[in-house]
Amino acid sequence: MRRVRAALALLLVGGLAACGTAPDGGTIRTPASRPPSAAGSPAPTGPPEITLAFAGDVHFMDRTLKLLDDPNTAFGPIADQLKSADLALVNLESAVTARGTPEPKAFHFRAPASAYTAIKAAGVDVVTLANNHALDYGRVGLSDTLAAAKAAEMPYFGAGANAAEAYAPYVTTIKGVKFAFIGFDQFFELWQQWKATETQSGIAMAWDLTRARAAAKAARAQADVLIVYMHWGDEGVECPTKGQQNFAAEMVKAGADMVIGTHAHLLMGDGYLGKAYVQYGLGNFVWYHDDAWSNDTGVLRVTLKGTKITKTELVPASISRTTGQPLPATGAEATRISTKYAGLRACTKLSATPTAP
């Protein structure tokens, strides 16, 4: 009988370490049980340590489409950096569809539904769809993209069946801290045609500043930490434009604790705007084309104690010129990328440390 009771007790303890579902639909991540502290030593107290991982543009075309032959390994070894974080986020730079008509623009990206399988297998928890390729195959393609995400149980933000959905935040609770994520596109081409409205599907646009401000304030009211993920900047330009700087300031005024960006195909600088952390560009990540000038990349890891950022670090990587996968950089290559990244702050007008607003 004692053995039975002991077994039941072990099962009960194991059950308490499981993950649950928050009332808002997000995931409550409960840390696994730990051994008791030494006799006489107080249990650790204070805010929990939380790590977030961010990466740039991901799609599956040409050479990267072949990676979906085995979706579980599509991201390669860089996936370890994503999986080890409490939450990981990338920009899905593609329509997920086999239908639709190409829009009147130069480049069109699409992927099969197994793209979501690959993204989930890499440890990514949520994707942003607010970019200049989500509607490459029109609203039919966007409808398929959203439906495939829901079928794969892949959370997303930045696009939707209407404006209310596109501008709505993704909200999740990690170790007792509630995070809200919203995304906007600041790319000018076709923005009027692609914007979400009350009666039309589309993506959330930075150009609609009144709606963007309202979305940020509404999201901030629902969470302890607000993160805005942007698609912005001039392609091939390492320094932020005036438009990027102005919009980052608007988001910080509206309550953003972090503003993270991508789109320019290059790494861009980071730093603090008042108390808020801003990263202007994470570059390409899983990328279809071999452009030697744009192969530097990495995973941005942000560590918090509760709601306070305590560390930011770019884990350097280089995009393989054969597979398109981001490979962790080592040795002289890692030093080169890290040194270059540190120097990019000079043109951002951001501070190295938080400052009073």
Residue among 129, 123, 124 nearest 146 (CA)? 129
Quick: pLDDT tens for 210-251. 999 999 999 999 999 999 999 999 999 999 999 999 999 999
Can you tell me the distance from the alpha carbon of 179 to that of 24, in angstroms, rounded to the nearest whole number? 11
Domain ranges in the chain?
47-347
Tokens of 86: 């409490």
Q: Is the pLDDT of residue 3 over 70?
A: no
Strand 110-111 and strand 95-96: the pairing is parallel
3-state SS assignment for residue 131: coil
CB atoms closer than 10 angstroms to residue 315? 20
Task: Tell me what pLDDT residue 44 has.
Answer: 62
Query: Is 60 exceeded by the pLDDT of residue 6?
Result: no
Give residue for tokens 């609609």. Answer: 208
> Which spans in the chain are helix H?
2-16, 79-83, 114-121, 138-151, 163-166, 191-194, 209-221, 242-253, 331-343
**Confidence at residue 203, expressed as pLDDT on a 0 to 100 scale:** 98
Output the DSSP codes for 251-274: HHHTT-SEEEEE-SSSB--EEEET
Q: Are 160 and 196 in contact (CB under 8 A)?
A: yes
Give dist(CA 76, CA 58) in Å, integer.
Answer: 13
> Predicted confidence band at 42 (pLDDT cuts at 50, 70, 90)?
low
Contact between 118 and 67 (Cβ < 8 Å): yes
Structure tokens at 319: 């995009």
pLDDT at residue 356, as a whole number: 80
For residue 32, pLDDT beyond 70: no
What pLDDT sits at residue 292? 84
pLDDT of residue 1: 42
CA distance 247 to 216: 12
- Residue 222 CB burial class (10 angstroms; 0-12, 13-18, ≥19): middle
H or E element at residue 231: strand 225-231
Other residues' Cβ atoms within 10 Å of the Cβ of residue 254? 19
Q: Which residue in the block uniquely carries the two structure tokens 């043109």?
A: 347
Q: What is the mean pLDDT of residues 153-159?
A: 98
Residues 6+ apart with CB under 8 A from 310: 49, 303, 304
Residue 47 pLDDT more than 50? yes
Contact call for residues 304 and 33 (beta carbons, < 8 A): no
* Whether the predicted pLDDT of 13 surpasses 50: no
The pLDDT score that the predictor gives to residue 323 is 97
C-beta separation of 18 from 24 below 8 A = no
The candidate with the shortest Cα–Cα distance to 159, out of 189, 126, 113, is 126
- Smallest Cα–Cα separation from 238: which of 345, 335, 139? 345
Tokens of 61: 């075309």
CATH 3.60.21.10 fits 47-347, yes or no: yes
**What is residue 73's predicted lDDT score, i.e. its pLDDT?**
98
Which tokens go with 230?
């942007």
pTM: 0.88
286 has a pLDDT exceeding 90: yes
Percent of the chain with pLDDT over 90: 85
Which has the minimum average pLDDT: 19-23, 34-38, 89-93, 134-138? 19-23
* Beta carbons within 8 Å of 1's beta carbon, 6+ residues apart: none
Q: What is the mean pLDDT of residues 299-317?
A: 98
Q: How far apart are CA 47 and CA 306, in angstroms?
A: 5
Tell me the average pLDDT across 259-270: 97
What pLDDT shows up at residue 43? 61
Q: Are 110 and 94 in contact (CB under 8 A)?
A: yes
Question: For position 41, what pLDDT does the model report?
Answer: 57
| CB-CB contact of 33 with 13 (8 Å) | yes
Q: What does the DSSP assignment read for 287-329?
A: -SS--GGG-EEEEEEEEEETTEEEEEEEEEEEE-TTT-PEEEP
Residue 335 predicted with pLDDT over 90: yes
Chain segment 58-104, per-residue pLDDT in tens: 999 999 999 999 999 999 999 999 999 999 999 999 999 999 999 99
